[in-house]
Amino acid sequence: MAWARAVSMAAFIWITLASAVAAHEVLPTIGDMEVIDGQITFRLEGNFESIVAGIDLDGLEDTEAAPEAEAYDALRALEPDAFMAQFDANWPQMADAIGVIVDGTPVALELTSLEVPAVGDVEVVRQSVVTFAADIAADAQSVQIDWPAEYGVLVLRQMGVDAGWDGYLSGGGLTDPVALAGGDEMSGGEAFMRFIPVGVEHIVPLGLDHILFVLGLFFLSVKMRPLLWQVTAFTAAHTVTLALATLGYVNIPEDYMWIVESIIAASIVYVAVENIFTDGLNPWRPAIIFGFGLLHGLGFASVLGAYGLPDNAVIPALLGFNIGVELGQLLCIAIAFIIVVSAIRLSEDGKVNRAAAWAYMAVAILVVPLAIIPISAMGPDAVEAYLPLLFMVAALSGLCAASCAVERFETYRHMVAMPASIGIALIGAYWVVERVFL
């Protein structure tokens, strides 16, 4: 049917347009907290142009997606002295937004220093260092930190004491009281549980490139055995390099991470293109996927390193993050599996199933878009993060609608797997060009 082919092509285009490329990545702010000479001192390293520009970083993946992107780009291009002047003018507002409460009483924050690197490549996030402090009484017992949600993620460590506290602040809110004398060190169990959602979040919704790679594995075949071989090879490989990089045995300088990211994009192209030209698991594919998985593990490690790990619980935190990554990947596969296998069963006799086709179209054009309503309640940044994933679910549903609307054999491969793989290959190819040349 002509309309079924049109739906298939439209859904394919929708997959292609669902790629959101992160050119101005949002990284967490990393900081140390220490009591020095009667003052509690905070030394934070982060991207402060985004804060001065007024960007709401809560859940945001790319500053280019923010309404204030133009102002951010202008600040990013300023020479250090010029940006310092802008930061100084904005400091009173920041000092009011950041809450430091000592023994239940808010304390006034004083800016003590600001270190801003030279301009360099304006497409690369500039990490400046801000130091501020507050006077505290000699007998002060505890401190609480209230970090604004719009300032993004803060990873904070307590220094200068035994068993110092480690904090991961996301989405705003006030920390529990932290003993200034130390002793609030994160336990292994706490680190394990805390880093599971970090791993999940890195895949869903922030890891679009990893999602597309996993879906590329899925679209080769919906049979369990080929999928199991591929996922096992990928999981084993990225677990190895994630552990080696996190523990310091493998180190990729930041200046060369673009090479890793480019090869990750190329791996997406490879698995998608192979899906188009083969309909079964070749003997060499698991080995190639294992090699690509090693590079994906380095990508995971760079993210985990940016968040910081508690010194006393590196292994539990690593395990928790890796489990979170696996849960995120399995969630993506499970959603695709449910959508696709249902369509295959509804049209397994090769005959037209108009009821199923209309049901899938309803999901694509009604049900999935309606999901934006509850997501929008989480804020515009959540919509920005989840929108590409909703597009992909809608596109896959549209492809399945087309497969149910035609009378032919192997409708899944021709109407779903191949168009989806072509779309994934085009996205990956664009990322290769973007990460190498742009």
Tens digit of each residue's pLDDT (9 = 90 or more) over 367-422: 777 887 887 777 666 677 777 888 888 888 888 887 777 765 567 777 788 888 99
Phi/psi at 113 (5° precision): -160, 160
Q: Which of the pair, 4 or 85, is modelled with greater confidence?
A: 85
Average pLDDT score, the chain: 83
pLDDT at 42: 96
Whether 252 contacts 242, CB under 8 Å: no
Distance CA 335, CA 341 (A): 10
Whether the per-residue pLDDT at 15 is higher than 60: the answer is no
Whether 390 contacts 369, CB under 8 Å: yes
Whether the per-residue pLDDT at 170 is higher than 70: the answer is yes
Whether the per-residue pLDDT at 11 is higher than 50: the answer is no
Whether the per-residue pLDDT at 195 is higher than 70: the answer is yes
What mean pLDDT do residues 288-315 have? Answer: 82
Q: How confident is the model at residue 187 (pLDDT cuts 50, 70, 90)?
A: confident
Highest mean pLDDT among 8-22, 118-132, 262-276, 390-404: 262-276
Q: Please state, in angstroms and as integers, the Cα–Cα distance from residue 186 to each residue in 124, 194, 199, 201, following that order.
A: 33, 10, 18, 21
> If 0-12 CB within 10 Å is exposed, 13-18 middle and 19+ buried, where does residue 344 land?
middle
Beta bridge partners of 30: 45, 155
Q: 57-66, 258-267, 355-364 — which is least confidently predicted?
A: 57-66
Q: Which of the pair, 435 or 48, is modelled with greater confidence?
A: 48
Whether the per-residue pLDDT at 308 is higher than 80: the answer is no
CA atoms within 13 A on the CB side of 131: 12
Tens digit of each residue's pLDDT (9 = 90 or more) over 32-87: 999 999 999 999 999 999 999 999 888 777 777 788 889 999 999 999 999 999 99
pLDDT at 7: 42
Q: How confident is the model at residue 8 (pLDDT cuts 50, 70, 90)?
A: very low
> If 0-12 CB within 10 Å is exposed, 13-18 middle and 19+ buried, where does residue 298 land?
buried
Structure tokens at 422: 């072509």
Q: Which of the pair, 19 or 157, is modelled with greater confidence?
A: 157
Q: How confident is the model at residue 360 (pLDDT cuts 50, 70, 90)?
A: confident
Tens digit of each residue's pLDDT (9 = 90 or more) over 207-252: 888 899 999 999 988 778 888 889 899 999 999 998 888 888 888 8
pLDDT at 47: 92
Q: Which of the pair, 317 or 84, is modelled with greater confidence?
A: 84
Tens digit of each residue's pLDDT (9 = 90 or more) over 129-146: 999 999 999 999 999 999
Distance CA 242, CA 294 (A): 8
80-105 as b/e: b if 16+ CB within 10 A: eeebeebbeeebeebbeebbbbbeee
Mapping DSSP onto H, E and C, the string for the chain reads CHHHHHHHHHHHHHHHHCCCCCCCECCCEEEEEEEECCEEEEEEEECHHHHHCCCCCCCCCEHHHCCCHHHHHHHHCCCHHHHHHHHHHHHHHHHHHCEEEECCEECCCEEEEEECCCCCCCCCCCCEEEEEEEECCCCCCEEEEECCHHHCCEEEEECCCCCCCEEEECCCCECCCEECCCCCCCCHHHHHHHHHHHHHHHHCCCCHHHHHHHHHHHCCCCCHHHHHHHHHHHHHHHHHHHHHHHCCCCCCCHHHHHHHHHHHHHHHHHHHHHHHHCCCCCCCHHHHHHHHHHHHHHHHHHHHHHHCCCHHHHHHHHHHHHHHHHHHHHHHHHHHHHHHHHHHHHCCCCCCCHHHHHHHHHHHHHHHHHCHHHHHCCCHHHHHHHHHHHHHHHHHHHHHHHHHCCCCCCHHHHHHHHHHHHHHHHHHHHHHHHHHHC
Q: 200-209, 226-235, 292-301, 343-352 — which is least confidently predicted?
A: 343-352
**Dihedral (C-alpha) 103, 109, 110, 114: value to the nearest 10 degrees?**
120
Whether 221 contacts 280, CB under 8 Å: yes
Phi/psi at 125 (5° precision): -60, 130
Distance CA 317, CA 188 (A): 7
